Amino acid sequence: MIKVGVLGSRGRMGAEVCRAVQGAGDMELVAAVDQGDAFDALTAAEVVVDFTHPGAVMDNLKWCVEHGLHAVVGTTGFEPSRLDTVRSWLTDASTGNVIIAPNFGIGAVLMMHFAQKAAPFFESVEIVETHHPNKADAPSGTAYRTAELVAAARAEAGASASPDATTSEVEGARGADVDGVRVHAVRLSGAIAHQEVLLGGHGEIFTIRHDAMDRESFMPGVLLAVRKVPELDRLTLGIESLLGL
């Protein structure tokens, strides 16, 4: 049995993780910790799942690394400098591995993979993501990572920048610029997690879209990461490699 602790256990995603772990035949929920709780109970775990807040996740993750625990992180806000900091914690003496994934939804991961494959074949590409209004970061980690993958694929293929003749703009109207890819964030009551990658060429538009209608959709990916993280090497970004992509 894999002993699992959950950070952010009273949040919507954390509570869903607790239910998923309790329903898994090969896992045992040994600690459910949230804001204001002591971390001591987590020492009974082998793997800690973090769905908390961008402002808290770095301290949480450092604690897990220092205590030799494997960590599966779904909290977003991991720009390159934060990832570099995490890498600096994972030394040769570290006994825990870390998975940081911008999205655990299998469909969302495939969306990013397909977008990366398609991006070099189209003149234009932009990303639109929509989430619930309680989300703390914008753009989402999924959209940010998608933009990075798309930009890298286009650069490797020698594709030109997306054409854009805008010279007069209300600040923010064209979205954020992530490695040359425009990303637009919508915060809307009733939404959970949705993303479109819009690719345009001569006389055609190709849209890759993923919609998460329930937080339960992320749980197969979370449980896969919990099972696999002890076998990995220090830091792994995303669950693509766990799916053979």
Return the active site residues: 131, 135
* Helices and strands, counts by H and E, the chain: 6, 11
CA distance 19 to 191: 22
Measured torsion, CA atoms of residues 16, 221, 179, 60, in degrees rounded to the nearest 10: 50
CB contact at 8 A, 57 and 190 = no
Q: Distances in Å between the alpha carbon of 170 and those of 136, 165, 180?
A: 23, 14, 19
Cβ 131 vs Cβ 184: under 8 Å: no
Q: Side by side, which strands form the sheet with 98-100?
A: 27-33, 2-7, 47-50, 70-73, 98-100, 235-237
**Amino acid identity, position 82:** R
